[in-house]
Structure 1
Amino acid sequence: MKKFFIFSAMLLVLFTSLVLADVVYPRKETLYAGGGLWSPPSNWNPITPWNAVTGTVGLIYETLFGYNPLTDELIPWLAESGRWTSKNTFEIKLRRGVTWHDGTPFTAKDVKFTYELAKQIPEIYYSPIWTWLAKIDTPDDYTVVFTFSSPRYHEWTYNIYQTAILPQHIWSKRTKDEILSGANEKAIGTGPYLFETYSDDRMVYLRNENWWGNKVFGQPKPKRIVYLRVLSNNVALGMIMKGELDISNFFLPGVPTLKKTYSDIHTWFDKEPYMLSDNVAYLFINTTKKPLNDPNLRRAIAFAIDPSVIARTVFEGQVLPSNPVGFLPIKGWMKYYPENAVKQFGFKYDPKKARELLDKAGYKDINRDGFREAPDGSKFKVEIIVPFGWTDWMESIKIIASQLRAVGINAEAKFPDYSKYWEDLTTGKFDMAINNFGSQMTVSPWTMYNWVFNSQIASEMYNGNFGRYNNQKLFDLITQLNMTPMDDIASCKRIIEQIAEIHLKEMPAIPLWYNGMWFQASTQVWKNWPSEKSPYAYPVTWGGRWQTGGVLMLINLKQ
């Protein structure tokens, strides 16, 4: 009997998926999107945003602020304003007239509940805030006062446009297990779209006609958003060309060529690099392994690699090589750029310099086999890993391995499946590896440093510093940066100069190139997409990123 019910349930899911896939929505009312849905929709829980369907935060649930990386400005959202009233007190005034999707008024109690829930349940991802947040007061229904024991200005600014606010009247009735691991189907938020339906290959959002933001920002133009699960870049490319996909946040090879042929394909720039720079591909080096624990070898590796070849050939000119410190070329980061450290200790592709550094450090080809031995005379070989199937990165590390061999370092590119790659990366069983999971565009370069040089070194490193570089002075400087007001640019820059100097001298992780804010759109149905000429919004639909431009893009689209 149990098998019968399981079989019946599977048939029902299949039938529902087939029926939903056959539903035809009015094309001029519907936006079809892709690039941020990699598995069948099954989770809409903002407490686990890494598992939640893209749009859960941003379309259904909202944050206190948004952030515009193009102008480096926080956008008042659920909050009408926010300001530091003292060194350790931040006061937020909330918008009036906001309601949850079920009609319940949104108030300061919801904000207080959202943050205090993480105090009660330490497993919640943002619970560490309570190591430096002392208390929350709500003097009235539309005022929230956060008092900090040790204010962390950069981290807090990032938090207020990342943490989704929860409805107290719903979530206060849930068990710990439901909060931490519940699917939260038919989610109730305050956002511009409602949970409508889903199937194996799509999530369908219906416009919230009563959204409070209609009067503030304007109404989003698409009545529905159908977010598609497209598992092949080639399929996505064909769908964009045929107008079956309105916006793609995939990396699509061939875009530079197609731009010259199809006038309906839209990108941010009309010519190279076509894409905005969104995150940094780092080469992490395992500093616990000999001879990779030698900073002289690591610096030589940095001089031996030419990322411009990778940008030009592998990515067809759609990305740019990184600067020596991995700073994204956005206003919010470049105002802190440590040009003095870069000038004195920076690196660029220079194989002659790489060979000189290796010779000076004692790495010489003693046995004349074409590869250098370590200073103690021992042979060594390094492997560079990326996940199998990630074709752009696979081709990239082939080039890197070749460039290292050209200066006498025995290097080989390896392509384990993703699970093996992740296991080796997080447990430190690798030599060198490419990763970019925490280097994305944010309000402050502190987030990048906090990831690249994560000080919480443990047997398993899931959040950066995969090479386990240990330098307490550096960790203290990153903490000092966090505790320096962001508008004190001179002080922040002085600290970053010191961080950059250590980074460039020690080189435990090498910034190589900027992965793009992959953005291709079709103008066959929807027009007025953002671009270099009309930079009204950052064109992103990835999970957890709608509040950094995606919603504003929906508001400004035209037929």
Structure 2
Amino acid sequence: MKRFFLLALFAVVLTTVIFADVVYKRDETLYAGGGLWAPPSNWNPITPWNAVTGTVGLIYETLYGYDPLKDELIPWLAESGKWTSKNSFEIKLRKGVTWHDGMPFTSKDVKFTLELAKKIPEISYSYLWNWIAKVDTPDDYTVVFTFSSPRYHEWNYQLYQLPIIPEHIWSKMSKDEILTGANEKAIGTGPYMPETYSDDRMVYLRNDNWWGNKIFGQPKPKRIVYLRVLSNNVALGMIMKGELDISNFFLPGVPTLKKTYSDIHTWFAKEPYMLSDNTAFLFINTTKKPLNDPNLRRAMAYAIDPNIICRTVFEGQVLPSNPVGFLPIKGWMKYYPENAVKQFGFKYDPKIAKDLLDKAGYKDINKDGYREAPDGSKFKVSIIVPFGWTDWMESIKLIASQLRAVGINAEAQFPDFSKYWEDLTSGNFDMAINNFNSQMSVSPWTMFNWLFNSNFDKYMYNGNFGRYNNPKLFDLITQLNSTPMEDIAANKKIVEQIAEIFLKDMPAIPLWYNGMWFQASTQVWKNWPSEKNPYAYPVTWGGRWQTGGVLMLIGITSK
């Protein structure tokens, strides 16, 4: 704790920011950081994982937004939408929406966006055509989606994920331009337009003709300067000096500094300070002996104490997870499987961990302090996280020591990120922490679909890194997706069955909720969202502006 505090103070003294030659009016400019890790080079909404943060949400918009605080889909480019039958969803588009070049936005753009992925199967969302039968446009402002097999949870997710692109521009592009082009002169319908960029920043200029001004209100910053800040401590120094208005970094030392610096704003005034945004899981390689034994995996779940990690590593800025990894948000907790958790759930209890290991035949036969497998063989497990991810590095050190305390020989290892990702996706690991697709969403289906991805391949890029194979569980997740979301009872019944299998087999252990890291300076901009003023989810990460970031820009004020 003291080390973090001293580093932060040191950063305040030494931090210097080299601004561009152009000086923007300070009370019209928002400086942001936490979602730009490389020089800006891509504004292609077809490849949003490569695009500069803001490409989706600020430039290109989605049919709906999503408010995770209220668990509400917000009509955006769509004015309304409804299921007209079991297999048909009708959307009415807003009239008067124009692209940045003045051309009208119509149903043809929506149809083109979807059908482009049918024409070019390499597009990431082309899989939607596995269950979309056709897209019809009866008029310029109506779109009718007909499904061969409706997937209700997934569809609600896509409504606020899929950016709509202009037909009159993208229909003239080559396949290579669509799939790999930088799209530097991006033209969308959104509240901001790309103005300029350099190695250390992306600058957005407000679109004063944005259609949403009359409906939602005009965003307050005339410009957003999104900075590439490569050190958490430098970011903290910039927040304290008012050079950074909002940070979506994990910043160590914030709990201590908030007691001294009144200009540092967080969601909660006290612990945990941060909203819970995603769940960190300990993935276990179920293809390796003895980790393929669910008895060993359940024992490890009892042996790990996330509370210590939350208090010491994260300084009370995060919360320990519940036994199934459900984020504490309305959209998920309405399906929470209380019965399965009560019957099969776990909590930190090293005595139970030892008893489970004893009963399963894991005993210290040679008296070296570590248990052997039931067949008498020695074993040692490693836990990996990327080098430089200091919070996770400290966490797995604690986890390894907790496992050793119950007789499991465990060690923490820190490969560089490329090696970590290669080993994780190829299945060349024992245990690893990951949270890449457990984030807040409209439905816990997204988490289950990631944890238990059934599309086995040489590289598991889309989850299920431990290669857990359970056809019954996979079928249940498909059933969940195929159940209308408003039928809470039916969904919860399926979730209870999923949770029972999950908790009995424990192929991954939920540990803690990674925070929606949010620190803001009140020196220039005020009225930031908070627990007492929860008007927007305070996120500026790539692909997440439509889940609160734009509404935050509308709500803040420089007066």
TM-score by length of 2: 0.97
Checking the alignment, whether the CA contact within 8 Å between 1:281 and 1:513 is kept in structure 2 is: yes
Give the partner amino acid of 2:554: I
Give the partner amino acid of 2:165: L
1:369 equivalent to 2:372? Answer: no
Q: Distance in 1 between matches of 2:145 and 2:462?
A: 27
Q: Which residue of 2 aligns with 1:46?
A: 45
1:344 equivalent to 2:371? Answer: no
Q: Which residue of 2 aligns with 1:167?
A: 166
* SS class of match (1:113): helix
Q: Which residue of 2 aligns with 1:114?
A: 113
Deviation of the 1:20 alpha carbon = 6.9
1:438-474 CA deviation, whole Å, 9 max, x = no partner?
1000000000000000000111100110000000000
Checking the alignment, whether the CA contact within 8 Å between 1:20 and 1:199 is kept in structure 2 is: no
Give the partner amino acid of 1:380: F
Deviation of the 1:22 alpha carbon = 2.5
* SS class of match (2:278): strand
1:78-99 CA deviation, whole Å, 9 max, x = no partner?
0000100000100000000000
Q: Which residue of 2 aligns with 1:431?
A: 430
* SS class of match (2:348): coil
Q: How many residues align?
A: 542
1:321 equivalent to 2:320? Answer: yes
Q: Which residue of 1 aligns with 2:135?
A: 136
Mapping 1:468-547, distance limit 5 Å: 468-547=467-546
Mapping 1:18-167, distance limit 5 Å: 21-167=20-166
Checking the alignment, whether the CA contact within 8 Å between 1:34 and 1:228 is kept in structure 2 is: yes
* SS class of match (1:426): helix
* SS class of match (2:124): coil
Deviation of the 1:186 alpha carbon = 1.7
* SS class of match (1:540): coil
1:489-545 CA deviation, whole Å, 9 max, x = no partner?
000000000000000000000000000000000000000000000000000000000
Give the partner amino acid of 1:529: W
Q: Which residue of 2 aligns with 1:312?
A: 311
1:385 equivalent to 2:384? Answer: yes
Checking the alignment, whether the CA contact within 8 Å between 1:301 and 1:404 is kept in structure 2 is: yes
Give the partner amino acid of 1:448: M
> RMSD in angstroms over aligned alpha carbons?
0.8
1:309-363 CA deviation, whole Å, 9 max, x = no partner?
0000000000000000000000000000000000000000000000000000000
Stretches of 4+ moved more than 2 A in 1?
none
Q: Which residue of 1 aligns with 2:214?
A: 215
Checking the alignment, whether the CA contact within 8 Å between 1:247 and 1:520 is kept in structure 2 is: yes
1:395 equivalent to 2:394? Answer: yes
* SS class of match (2:340): helix
1:246-304 CA deviation, whole Å, 9 max, x = no partner?
00000000000011100000000000000000000000000000000000000000000
Give the partner amino acid of 1:134: A
* SS class of match (1:41): coil
Checking the alignment, whether the CA contact within 8 Å between 1:265 and 1:520 is kept in structure 2 is: yes
Deviation of the 1:21 alpha carbon = 1.8
Q: Which residue of 1 aligns with 2:236?
A: 237
Q: Distance in 1 between matches of 2:232 and 2:291?
A: 36
Q: Which residue of 2 aligns with 1:447?
A: 446
Deviation of the 1:19 alpha carbon = 9.8
Give the partner amino acid of 1:377: G
Q: Which residue of 2 aligns with 1:8?
A: none
Q: Which residue of 2 aligns with 1:412?
A: 411
Q: Distance in 2 between matches of 1:438 and 1:347?
A: 23
Q: Distance in 2 between matches of 1:494 and 1:177?
A: 46
Q: Which residue of 1 aligns with 2:263?
A: 264
Checking the alignment, whether the CA contact within 8 Å between 1:282 and 1:509 is kept in structure 2 is: yes
Q: Distance in 2 between matches of 1:113 and 1:345?
A: 48
Q: Distance in 1 between matches of 2:296 and 2:20?
A: 55
How many percent identity over aligned positions? Answer: 86
Give the partner amino acid of 2:277: D
Q: Distance in 2 between matches of 1:408 and 1:103?
A: 68
Q: Distance in 2 between matches of 1:145 and 1:459?
A: 38
Q: Which residue of 2 aligns with 1:12?
A: none
Q: Distance in 1 between matches of 2:303 and 2:126?
A: 42
Give the partner amino acid of 2:333: M
Checking the alignment, whether the CA contact within 8 Å between 1:63 and 1:547 is kept in structure 2 is: yes
* SS class of match (2:394): helix
TM-score by length of 1: 0.97
Q: Distance in 2 between matches of 1:62 and 1:156?
A: 17
Give the partner amino acid of 2:246: I
* SS class of match (2:317): coil
